[in-house]
Amino acid sequence: MSNIVFYLRLEPYLRQWLVHSLGDPVVFPAQSNENAVIRRFLRKRPEDIRPELAADGLTAICIPDSKAKPPQYYNYLGKKAKAAVKETIEDLFRANLWNEISDLTRRNCGLNKTIAAWCEMHGIDDDYSETVRQKYYRMRDSYNKKGIFLGSLTRNRTDE
């Protein structure tokens, strides 16, 4: 992996989860979808654009090595390319959240506690557990609107 990075502005909970899972700077696995998207949209830096610098609220992401696009020369992503990378990161987050939480909701533990514990396990501050819970609810409710029920058939009345 190269030491050359680009920067993305991510939601705080997403940044915390990503850095906790893949380090700082973020290094995606070699054969990952995220690296494929990065490689696909990399291009040479236009002469009129200065290199990016680290700043508060930005997440550093390593550019993957590539024989076809060496990071020393191909190290620029435009606005829309960064949006595509951000979308793949959000998809990865949703998949991780769904796969780990949906199985736990079938247990006798309240969803609020389950999500707070999941956030803690994944390096997300307590301040954002409500945001993550709402994201989970929206995913589940979008299926409910199509007639696919994925929630619990019982309600745990002691959840706080």
Given a contact cutoff of 8 angstroms between Cβ atoms, the answer to whether 118 and 100 are in contact is yes
Q: How many domains does the chain have?
A: 1
Position 106 scores a pLDDT of 60
**Torsions phi, psi of 18, nearest 5?**
-65, -45
Give percent above pLDDT 90 in the chain: 70
Position 104 scores a pLDDT of 65
Give the DSSP letter string of 44-85.
EPPTTSPPP---TTEEEEEPPP-SSS-TTTEEE--HHHHHHH
Tens digit of pLDDT for each residue in 59-105?
Answer: 999 999 999 999 999 999 999 999 999 999 999 999 999 989 877 65
Domain that residue 15 falls in: 5-144
In a domain, 157, yes or no: no
- Alpha carbons 104 and 128: distance in angstroms, whole number: 19
In a domain, 137, yes or no: yes
- Alpha carbons 141 and 148: distance in angstroms, whole number: 9
In a domain, 154, yes or no: no
pLDDT of residue 151 exceeding 80, the answer is no
Nearest to 98 by CA among 52, 133, 55, 53: 133
- Alpha carbons 95 and 136: distance in angstroms, whole number: 10
pLDDT of residue 155 exceeding 90, the answer is no
In a domain, 150, yes or no: no
Tens digit of pLDDT for each residue in 103-132?
Answer: 765 666 788 889 999 999 999 999 999 999
In a domain, 149, yes or no: no
Q: What is the pTM of this model?
A: 0.86
Given a contact cutoff of 8 angstroms between Cβ atoms, the answer to whether 122 and 20 are in contact is yes
Q: In sequence order, what are the beta bridge partners of 62?
A: 5
In a domain, 11, yes or no: yes
| Mean pLDDT of the region 38-55 | 92
Position 3 scores a pLDDT of 87
Give residue for tokens 């949906």. Answer: 102
In a domain, 160, yes or no: no
In a domain, 23, yes or no: yes
Q: Is 127 exposed, middle or buried, given 0-12, 13-18 or 19+ CB atoms closer than 10 A?
A: exposed
